[in-house]
Structure formats: C-alpha cells, structure tokens
Amino acid sequence: MSPWKSDYVTVNKLKLHYTRTGRDKQPLILAHGVTDDGLCWTTIAKALAPDYDVVMVDARGHGRSDAPKSGYGPASHAKDMMGLITNLNLQHPILLGHSMGAMTTLAFAGAYPDVPRAILLEDPPPWWVMNTASAEAAARRTELQTWMEGIKRKTHKELVNEQRASAPTWSNAEIERWADSKQRFSPNVIEVFNARNDSSVDWQKLPPQIKCPALLITADPAHGSLVTKDGAAALKSLIQQLKIAHIPGAGHSIRHDQLEAYLHAAQTFLAKL
C-alpha cells in the first residue's frame, strides 16, 4: 500500500479524497457504493494496478471527503466525477462502479459521452425499469434509511462480527475495510435516499447517449443482487453495445462474494478494449 498516493482535489467547492496506485498507465476510476469508500476497492485495485493507473475516490459524504448537506443524487455525483477527472488530467479513463457508484458511472457516461474509454457496472439499482414514485420504491427507501441509521449506532467490533456471520466468503481484510467505511461516512449521506434523486435523471433518455464499450456484471437476486435477467435485458435495449456477464452464487457485492469470477469477467472485457 505504501507506494500508493493519498491526496485531495477540490471539486464543486468540496474536497474529495482519493487513493491512486500510479501514473503512466491507462487510468481506471473505481466508484464505490453507498456507505462504502474508496479503500473498499483495495483487493480489485491490487489486481488491476500492474496494468492500470487505478484511482479510488471517496464520494462526497464518504471516507475522507467533505460531506455537504445535499447533492447526493447521480447527477451531482457525475459532476464530481468530471471534476476529479479534470483536476487529475485523466485522459479517457475507464470507470468501474458498484451500486450507487454504478449509477454515477451510468449518469457520467451519458452526460459526458466523449470522456470515458469504457464503463463497467457492478449490480446498479435498476432505476431504468423502476417506478420511482411507487409505494414499493418509497418503502425500499425507508428500509434503506433505517438500515443506514442502524449502522451508525454500531461499534466497529459489532459491524465486523455481524458482517462475518452474514458474509462468510468475504476475507477478513474485506470485512475490516467494510466496517471502517461504515464508521467514516457522514449521516448527511442519508440524503441519497431522497425521492428527488430517483427522478433527477431520465433513465430512459440518458443511457442511449452512451458511446463507449460497456459491461454490466450481474449476480443472483436470490442472494440479494438487484439486477434481474429482465432488468439486464432492458438496459441492453437502451445501450446497444452493452455486454452482460452473469456471475452465479453472488449477491449485491459481487466482487466480494465471487472474486475470481468477477476479476475474470472484468479483465476479459478490459483486454478487448
């Protein structure tokens, strides 16, 4: 870890923290999910660092980045991403995002179609097929808010023990990093579940604007993943060049549940660029 650089950029009047593995290679930005932070990507970064300049950014309100009271929707996150890319002078970066970070990646690639070299999406919330005004969506937002509030009341030891019990395939290092991130994120992040964010982007019009190669990595809804087979097909109808890699036996955190299969899918896609 020591050769990696930890630093800040000022973007949209915020200080965003990032960790970077090295220069003079194809830049690859890793965008984490809600309540995680950049270092939750450490295992993936180590695997990709020999071939890529990997940048693990802490989204606003997460990790060591500033935590404003608002601006937690995908459109704001995409603007933050553009600011990071501009500040670091990253040329045509590849973006890999998980969950919230995958929606940031989608929004970014649609808003700035000439910037990314390629995008990879790990189990994004399928807003392109969801009725965000439905009672079901509202109940889901309330459930997630309650979950987030509960996390902030737990000690690091409690978080580690509970995650170890619920995710026995995760390594101890992954669990420790996951628990660390839960103690660092700001309570302001709960704004991400504001209903305004669900409709801040037109998820039917934006994806067809994406020009670059794209990969959607899916898993099993029975294990907790969000994108169903029909949801994946619906996204492909909006992004014609989209490739889909399904990894069985994994839930929402696909890379933690099935690391080898995840890396194979990602590296196979990247090798063809």
Q: How do 94-98 and 26-31 pair as beta strands?
A: parallel
And the tokens for 12?
């949209």
Query: Per-residue pLDDT tens for 124-141?
Result: 999 999 877 788 878 888
Confidence (pLDDT) at 134: 80
Confidence (pLDDT) at 89: 97
Domains of the chain: 5-271 (3.40.50.1820)
In angstroms, the CA 204 to CA 146 distance is 29
Strand order in the sheet with 5-11: 5-11, 14-20, 52-57, 26-31, 94-98, 118-122, 214-218, 242-246
> Which among 198, 212, 224, 179 has a CA at the least distance from the CA of 132?
198
Confidence (pLDDT) at 1: 45
pLDDT beneath 70: ranges in the chain? 1-2, 198
